[in-house]
Chain A
Amino acid sequence: MSKYGSKRSFDLEWVERWARTVNDDRILPVVGRFFTAKFVLGVDDTQYLVDVQNGKILRIAEGLAPNDMGYDFGLKAPSSAWAKFSQQIPPPMFNDIWAMAHPLHKQLIIEGNTLKFWQNLRALTRMLSLMRNVYNSSARDVA
């Protein structure tokens, strides 16, 4: 395995482990105190709805339903890109969502109400970076 780690699947169980890691975090309640939004984490063709309130994830869902009443913004990328992003040492151009979304690279699409995305960028960056801790715990489980 390279220092960047290896690819893994992003099923609902993985997303749940990530959400629980997020909710255990002690920094997010501070930097995400006003981060209340519903966003979609798009992995290939799968859309996970992530419902955030005051920096905590209240609910995750696989797929969208009419009663969701939509969502604020979406972050959609191929699983190969998320796999790189969530490695402990992500490779260049995949270490950050804005890096992936930047017009030079186009590895991730930010759609919907991008104002909400920019307003919460600090907390969102922290929240997504915790995907790297999910990797750590699952690696320990395997070991």
Chain B
Amino acid sequence: MNQHDPIVGRYVYVQCEGKTYRTYYEEHGEGIPLVCLHTAGTDGRQYRHQLCDPDITQNYRVIAFDMPWHGKSLPPSDFYLLEDEYKLTTRFYSEFIVAFCRALELKKPVIMGQSMGGNVCLSLALKYESEFSALIALEACDYSPGWWIDALHHPHVHGGEVVASSTFGLMSPESPEEYRWETWWYYAQGGPGVFKGDLYFYSVDSDYRDQVSKISGRLPIYFLTGTYDFACTPEMTERTAEKVKNSECVIFSGGHFPTSEDPVKFKEVITPVLKKIVSADPERRSSGAPSLNGGRTETRLGGRQEQRAPDGRRVITL
């Protein structure tokens, strides 16, 4: 008997900064729109486990799209005429996310992004807070330097292998080998210069250190970072979260690509967050009862410590 994932993929045409982008996205589920942002140089496949998890999809319409230049989304049609190398900017990235959500006519979606997709949540909170109902920033901080380097796009270096190998150590050695190498493979499949161009955003154009304290706090922001993340360390996330009003910070045993490197562990740490967002949803859009704990895996937050800081911000160490 044939076995299929329940994921459905489609293309939508998104207008952004005067150009039209044929954009690929995958989705499954009903309820609160949960738009998932992939990491630098990869694509929406990083969310394949969450897209297939009935405990998530019974309450959320999970949507993962490929940014232009990534996965099955194309670069702009005149990319070969560009007079500068590909560089993702805060402005384009933020505007594209908003334009994508509008193209799908999503009402107050939740955004969940990791790495660069986590960092951009800070820009979304600063400029587009009324568009969303919550932000989940995985492996995110207000400044992540050191990655915009030429070795990652150089004619004498195999782009796929160097990009994938340079990010391999961001994962926890205790994450399942199979999923770590699957994540390596995603990285190895990126287009030439795309990872490096994304890192222009990640390490250069997303320095929000002077801006994050201006986030109003009207939009809840959940920060979650793994202990093995050497690009955005737990301390970097904690320092950022301390400055962001109405935020929570969870540090867990894991790495930089939690959705793909260890989906079971990720489910443990994200379940309480998703449950909280369902209960706080002003539109009550969930399609079923909020039973996020009742699925294939039990949450085991061993050694979990929760502290409440004087400003009301909660910090959780797992």
Contacts and interface: CB of A to CB of B under 8 A. Distances in A.
B157 A118 contact: yes
A104 B228 CA distance: 14
B249 interface: no
Interface stretch (B69-77, B166-174, B273-281): B166-174
A122 B161 contact: yes
B154 interface: yes
In the A-B complex, list the 3 residue pairs whose CB atoms are closest, starting with the nearest.
A96-B169, A118-B151, A99-B230
B286 interface: no
A121 interface: yes
Interface residues of B, number: 24
Interface string A96-118: 11110011110000000011001
A90 B230 CA distance: 13
A92 B151 contact: no
Given A115-B157, A119-B158, A121-B162, A97 B169 contact: yes
Nearest to B151: A118
Interface in B153-206: 154, 156-158, 161-162, 164-166, 168-170, 172-174
Given A98-B169, A115-B156, A125-B165, A105 B230 contact: yes
B151 to A, nearest CB: 4
Contacts of A96: 168-170, 230
Contacts of A92: 227-230, 233
B146 interface: yes
Given A102-B231, A105-B230, A125-B168, A90 B173 contact: yes
A104 B173 contact: no
A114 B154 CA distance: 12
